[in-house]
Amino acid sequence: MKLTDGLRWINRAVLSQRQRNLLTILGFAIGVSAVTILAAMGDSLKQFVLNEFTQFGSNIIAITPGKTETMGNTGILRTNRGLSLYDAEYLANLPHIKAMVPVVAGTAVVKFRSLSRATDVVGVGHHAAEAWNMQIAQGRFLPKDDLLQPRSFAVLGSKLKAALFSNKNALGQQIHIGSSRFRVVGVFASKGQFLGMDLDEIAYIPAAKALELFNRDSLMEIDLMYRANVDVDTLLTSVKNRLINRHGAEDFTIVSQDQMLESLDDILNVVRFAGIAIGAISLLVGSVGIYTILTITLSQRKGEVGLLRALGMQQRLLISLFLGEAVFMAILGGMAGLLLLACIQLALSLALPQLPLLFTFASVSLGLGVSIVVGLLAGATPAYQASRLPPIEALRAE
């Protein structure tokens, strides 16, 4: 049989039994959608989390006081062997380091005249805006100053500025943070949220001033931005060794953003896998459905099989035709499933625009690929059994 005739035969066969095949296709379509949607959601979740973390730029190494043998943000805890501003200065001057940001954070009351707001206050260095990809909307960021004796400048997040100054100009104004005075030199453009923390509500001051404000000696974190084209691992080792020399012991934790993303990746992969597994249940049921219906249908078409064999059709061709019907239905199911997804995607993006895409190239190929495989598997046995029937029996079986 010529290919085109074969395809036409398959097409007619599938379209003729409309009600039955429609239902079979529908059942399978839902199964495929379930798997695809969950795989895509897993992908999107990964992407989303990754984006959250990389919004601050890449090529970052973070150093925190205390050696983490177990989990825990040791930056917050008290310590006697912390990271000092001297450490920060030293690290900033190491080779391959482009920029250094010292970090210390806490909550305090920010006051302007009669208005006040208790909010997060973060002490940083003049490279922070650049290192963390934050845009200045008004004025400028903290200037390059003596790390240990900086001037009392502050930069406000957009929401904080609005709360204290509404539409009036904030630049040059004096505010109080805690009991100290600061002069506003800049306002950030809106940046959004990070892990539930609102970045626009934060006031940024020089690290040394923050240490004073919160009665601390030790920084909570030192971020180092390194030049591109540098091997991260060698740099990490080098920085670690130098700091060990300086402190006399390894009383700190040093981690690159890549490492952090890797461990995140591992966790998210588990989530993604779990999602797919759940979807796979629906897919399994859908596949069993296709298999069952195909078997029943073929047993009802014994007469047709007998006739074809009586007309001289080869066994192999017979198998190919019936297998082709199965695959065709499976593909239709897969496409129907993807269409269903597209509609859901459309509805979702209208309702919740910030949700990432369900449709990725990977998920589409997964969906179609799975469909074809299932079609082949589900159709193989019935097709083979149908072809094995001796023509006489097939014709008589009506």
Partner 1 sequence: MKSVDVLYFNLQVFTRHRWRTGMLAFCVALGVASVVLLTSLGESARRYVQREFALLGNDLLIVLPGKKQTSGGGVPIYGTSPRDLTLADAEHISRLAAVKSVAPIIAGNGAVSYKSRNRDVIVIGSTSGFLQARNLSLAMGSGLPDDSAEIARPVAIIGSKLQNELFSGQNPLGKMLTVDDYRYQVIGVLAERGESLGLDMRDMLILPVRSAEALFNSPALFRILIELHAVSDRQSVIEQIYQIVKQRHQNEEDITIITQQTVMQAFNNILVTLTAIIGLLAAISLVVAGILIMNLSLISVQQRRPEIGLLKALGASHKLIQQIFVWESLMLVIVASVIGLLCAQLIIFAANQWLPILQFVAPIWSHAVALGVAMLTALVFSWLPAKQAAIVSPVEVLRG
Binding site for partner 1 (CB under 8 A): 19-20, 23-24, 26-27, 30-31, 34, 38, 65-72, 74, 76-81, 104-109, 117-120, 159, 163, 177-179, 193, 196-198, 201, 213-216, 249, 251, 278-279, 281-282, 284-286, 288-289, 291-293, 295-296
Q: Which residue has the tokens 């991260």?
A: 232
CA distance 39 to 280: 10
As to burial, measured by CB atoms within 10 angstroms (0-12 exposed, 13-18 middle, 19+ buried), residue 153 is buried
Question: Which residues neighbour 4 within 8 Å (Cβ) at sequence distance 6 or greater?
Answer: none
Beta carbon nearer to partner 1, 180 or 259: 180
Beta carbon nearer to partner 1, 77 or 355: 77
Our CA angle for 121, 126, 202, nearest 5°, is 20
Minimal distance, residue 261 CB to partner 1, in Å: 22
Structure tokens given for 157: 């997040």
Beta carbon nearer to partner 1, 98 or 159: 159
Minimal distance, residue 31 CB to partner 1, in Å: 5
Question: Which residues neighbour 385 within 8 Å (Cβ) at sequence distance 6 or greater?
Answer: 295, 298
Read off φ and ψ for residue 198, nearest 5 degrees: -85, 110
Minimal distance, residue 345 CB to partner 1, in Å: 17
Minimal distance, residue 325 CB to partner 1, in Å: 16
Task: Of 366, 365, 376, 362, give the one whose Cα is nearest residue 329.
Answer: 376
String of DSSP letters for 250-278: --EEEEEHHHHHHHHHHHHHHHHHHHHHH
Beta carbon nearer to partner 1, 74 or 387: 74
Question: Which residues neighbour 390 within 8 Å (Cβ) at sequence distance 6 or greater?
Answer: none
Beta carbon nearer to partner 1, 296 or 342: 296
Minimal distance, residue 276 CB to partner 1, in Å: 11
Minimal distance, residue 158 CB to partner 1, in Å: 12
CA distance 219 to 223: 11
Distances (CA, A) of 344 to 4, 37, 89, 340: 35, 10, 53, 6
Minimal distance, residue 8 CB to partner 1, in Å: 26
Check if the beta carbon of residue 85 is closer than 8 Å to that of residue 211: yes
Beta carbon nearer to partner 1, 1 or 296: 296
Please report the sign of the dihedral spanned by the C-alpha atoms of residue 325, residue 330, residue 331, residue 333.
Answer: positive
Beta carbon nearer to partner 1, 77 or 267: 77
Minimal distance, residue 327 CB to partner 1, in Å: 19
Minimal distance, residue 329 CB to partner 1, in Å: 12
CA distance 338 to 346: 12
Beta carbon nearer to partner 1, 81 or 96: 81
Beta carbon nearer to partner 1, 43 or 120: 120
Q: Which residue has the tokens 């609102």?
A: 198
Minimal distance, residue 7 CB to partner 1, in Å: 25
What's the Rg (C-alpha) of the chain? 32
Beta carbon nearer to partner 1, 140 or 216: 216
Distance, CA of 302 to chain centre: 52
CA distance 151 to 153: 6
